[in-house]
Amino acid sequence: MIIILVLVAMFGLAIWAYTSKDIFGKTPSGAYLEYIKQSPHYNGKKFLNLSHTPDITEGVSYFQVLRSFLLEKSKRLKPASTLPSQKTDLFKLNPEENILVWFGHSSYFMQVDGRKILVDPVFSGNASPIPGSMKSFPGSDVYTPADIPEIDYLFISHDHWDHLDYSTVIQLEHKVKTVITGLGTSLHLKQWGYPAEKIIEKDWYQEIFLEPGFVVNTLPARHFSGRGLTKRQQSLWMSFALKTPTMNIFIGGDSGYDTHFASIGQQFGPFDLAILECGQYNKNWRYIHSMPEEVAQAAKELKAKRLLPVHWAKFPLAQHDWDEPIIKISAFGKAQNIPVITPMIGEAVFLQDDTQSFSKWWEDI
């Protein structure tokens, strides 16, 4: 019994030591904790969604989720071969063109009206604190921090490992002029060397005037946050409405379907482009990740002229076929009469060219 207790204590100590590493970031305390407690979306212990949001769907137990996750994964969870890609040189873009380049999953670059924007960059090849446990698909890591030019605005939607990547953001710090994120996430960035004056952190429903012609409205999503084993929802998960001199773009982050899409569409739409997560979903956790048919409905409610589905083609975080998200959203988008943009990783999307066509490149894998 003594030996067992010693082993348990040693195991607990090892976990504590590992989760104390810089990569896990920092949780609010002291005066800063008192500051975020003033948010109307903080209940005194954690941030909450606008609607009641269970971690798992009603009628489903955690045991069932675990059993399903371990035993019911698709045989096509990962691509059978290397993903195809193009590699647009981001240093040589025509400054007069509005261009988007997707890096797989929820990472992408935009050049809009002369400003360079980066969203949720993850270039480390891993989406987990455990090395090698959630590796990216072969072919999905054609870009590295060295391929990224100076960035005017870095958007971080929330602090999950597949959106806020320690290795990537510390390598990009010297290239980033301004970070825009939600309450609480600044603590991680400051811990990792970002000066406070670079960071703009906001609650939901706040307006940021960046410069003439560039306005960001910080908006809700239906999700959660957290980087460690405990202390979830200590930072705020976000979506953003980005208004530039010539475009209106919705940056969706991660979100389950809810009424906020319709209200955002009414207040801030129509959008020239809605960038919405479509992937890593499951009926067992449908409140925190939208199902494909809900993504199409959300795009319609946002009054989006075009839809870019992200959150797929890089990490196997759910149980569905790796290409199921793009197959389903393409069909649902067509049914809703919403053009769906389907670039391969690294392919340049010309944001103001609604005649640009894209191949069904996933069908060749």
| pLDDT tens-digit readout, 64-89 | 888 887 777 788 999 999 999 999 99
Residue 309, in any domain of the structure? yes
262 inside domain: yes
Instruction: Tell me the residue type at 114.
Output: G
Contact of 89 with 101, CB cutoff 8 Å: no
Structural domain boundaries enclosing 235 = 99-353
- Per-residue pLDDT of the chain in tens (365 residues, 90 and over written 9): 666 545 445 444 444 444 567 999 999 999 999 999 999 999 999 999 999 999 999 988 888 888 887 777 788 999 999 999 999 999 999 999 999 999 999 999 999 999 999 999 999 999 998 877 899 999 999 999 999 999 999 999 999 999 999 999 999 999 999 999 999 999 999 999 999 999 999 999 999 999 999 999 999 999 999 998 778 999 999 999 999 999 999 999 999 999 999 999 999 999 999 999 999 999 999 999 999 999 999 999 999 999 999 999 999 999 999 999 999 999 999 999 999 999 999 999 999 999 999 999 999 99
Question: Quick one: pLDDT at residue 336?
Answer: 92
What CATH number did the domain enclosing 273 receive? 3.60.15.10
Asked if residue 302 is part of any domain, the answer here is yes
pLDDT at 4: 57
- In this prediction, residue 17 carries a pLDDT of 47
Residue 238 domain flag = yes
pLDDT at 3: 62
Q: Is residue 2 part of a domain?
A: no
Q: Is 231 exposed, middle or buried (0-12, 13-18, 19+ CB in 10 A)?
A: middle
What span, in angstroms and rounded, lies between the C-alpha atoms of 307 and 296? 8
Q: Kindly state whether residue 83 falls inside one of the protein's structural domains.
A: no
Is-contact 118 148, C-beta < 8 A?
yes
- Exposure string (b/e) for 246-280, b if CB count within 10 Å is 16 or more? ebbbbbbbbbbbbebbbebbeebbebbbbbbbbbb
Q: Looking at the domain assignment, is residue 14 inside a domain? A: no
Give the list of residues 6+ apart from residue 10 with CB closer than 8 angstroms, or none.
none
What percentage of the chain carries pLDDT values higher than 70? 95
> How many structural domains does the chain have?
1
Contact of 256 with 222, CB cutoff 8 Å: yes
pLDDT of residue 180: 98
Whether 129 is covered by a domain: the verdict is: yes
